[in-house]
Amino acid sequence: MKVAVASMGTVPEALVGVRFGMCSQFLVFDLDTMEYVVVSVPSQERQRDRVSLAAIRAVAGQSVAAVITGHIKDICRQTLLDLGIEVVDGVEGMTVCEAIERYRVSGLAERETRKGFITRVAVVTSGEGLEARLEDPLGVCASFVVVDPATKDCEAVRVARRATAREVSMSGIRAVVESGAGVLITPAIHPECCLALQALAVSVYLASVGITVRQALERYESGQLQQVEYGF
């Protein structure tokens, strides 16, 4: 039996995707062997309806019996059901591997089993608090705010200044991971930094310069931010 999980990253330690139609990839697991493959979804110029159709085609092409995801539009749910694919939605705050384990045990049948821990989110900014604004990308900016989405508690994290931009970037990456954040939101990022964060199971999203940390978090939670990925 195969199960597809909408994922924010390309490894099982990544978080379950927030929105089915905006997810860049799915991890498809064989529950008998627990082996998985990464199935990428074409961007389709980021038009939501076309991305949703591409996502449906991607999972249907893997002959999966079920799809695990966060939010999903009714039309997408019904299309999958019509194809004979079970839809388990409303899964949030947990990693792909945790979602798969819970599905194996309980089928995620009860709504309360679909809620996990809420990952902390790091937002690159030189300010402090939820009203601080995004200005510079990671590597230029040497600080960020870490937010708990459940409580909106936040703390500012400062990265020691280094001699070169690369050293600042590497220090920033270490600081993000040490803060416990599973998501980084930044106006821009160098491919090398993004690869390093992906390898450490930190998902990277882009947000516009000038918006506040609060706005960036709201757009992330609603699935409006673009996820950045580079192949390994």
- Whole-number Å distance between alpha carbons of 109 and 98: 15
User: pLDDT by residue (tens digit) across 147-174?
Assistant: 988 788 999 998 876 667 677 778 888 8
Fold of 2-114: Nucleotidyltransferase; domain 5 (3.30.420)
Tell me what pLDDT residue 45 has: 47
pTM above 0.95, yes or no: no
Tell me what pLDDT residue 135 has: 86
**Domain assignments of the chain as residue spans, ordered by start:** 2-114, 120-228
Tell me what pLDDT residue 111 has: 84
Superfamily of chain region 120-228: Dinitrogenase iron-molybdenum cofactor biosynthesis domain (3.30.420.130)
* Burial of 54 (C-beta count, 10 Å sphere; 0-12/13-18/19+): middle
